[in-house]
Amino acid sequence: MSAGRAPSARRVGAGRRAFRVLNRFMLRFWWVGSGRMLNAWPAGTGRILVLGHVGRRSGLLRRTPLNYAPVGPDLFCVAGFGEGSDWYRNVLAHPDLQVWLPGDPLSGDGTAGRAEPADDDPDRTALVRQVLAASGFAAHLAGLHVRRLDDAALARRTTGYRLVRIRPVR
């Protein structure tokens, strides 16, 4: 995908379907206590957490595996499919959530957190870079080679992405 063109609807749809299948696989891994194994090779599989959020329409608990970057006490994630990402729309509607980090069993409660949009953070490009660098193969599949892109190019290529900060609730 070139820097100036948006991906086609067909390509986005295929990407979403592929990630849904992959997400189910990752959640099964987590349920059997192997979340730490998914994170054993960050350069390949990325840094992955499981986000527990409430469905904006259903009111049901949803769990979504996401790539993340820890920055200080906060965790940052990006919605690579932008504002249309279900998990993103859910956390905007219900920002209180649970987070399971590698090694946390999904049978437990996870860590309480609160999500907030962070697109207006003055360090947005650097934070998005950290999340994408921590995403392993996912950024490469999207055609984003973050180590090769300067800040201006990365900012242009990720304008549709949504950055989310998760603050732990103590």
Side-chain half-sphere exposure of 146, counting CA atoms within 13 A: 20
Copy the structure tokens of residue 76.
Answer: 């940052």
Query: Bridge-partner residues for 64, per DSSP?
Result: 51
Q: Domain span at residue 76?
A: 9-168
Flag whether pLDDT at 2 surpasses 50: no
Flag whether pLDDT at 8 surpasses 70: no
Residue 161 lies in a domain: yes
Residue 67 lies in a domain: yes
Residue 1 pLDDT level (bands cut at 50, 70, 90): very low
Residue 133 lies in a domain: yes
| 3-state DSSP assignment of residue 75 | strand
Residue 48 lies in a domain: yes
User: Which is nearest to 136 in space by CA: 29, 42, 60?
Assistant: 42
Residue 2 lies in a domain: no
Q: Which long-range contacts (CB under 8 A, 24 or more apart) does 151-154 make?
A: 151/125, 151/126, 153/3, 154/125, 154/128, 154/129
Residue 10: C-alpha distances to residues 57, 61, 145 (Å): 26, 29, 22
Residue 25: C-alpha distances to residues 13, 33, 118 (Å): 19, 13, 29
User: Which is nearest to 99 in space by CA: 84, 118, 119, 114?
Assistant: 114
Percentage with pLDDT > 90 across the chain: 58
Least confident of 60-69, 88-97, 99-108, 129-138: 99-108
Q: How many domains does the chain have?
A: 1
Residue 152 pLDDT: 96
Q: Output phi, psi for 10, to 5 deg.
A: -65, -45
The CATH number linked to 143 is 2.30.110.10
Burial of 50 (0-12, 13-18, 19+ CB in 10 A): buried
Could you tell me the pTM of the whole model? Answer: 0.84
Residue 139 pLDDT level (bands cut at 50, 70, 90): confident
Flag whether pLDDT at 32 surpasses 90: no
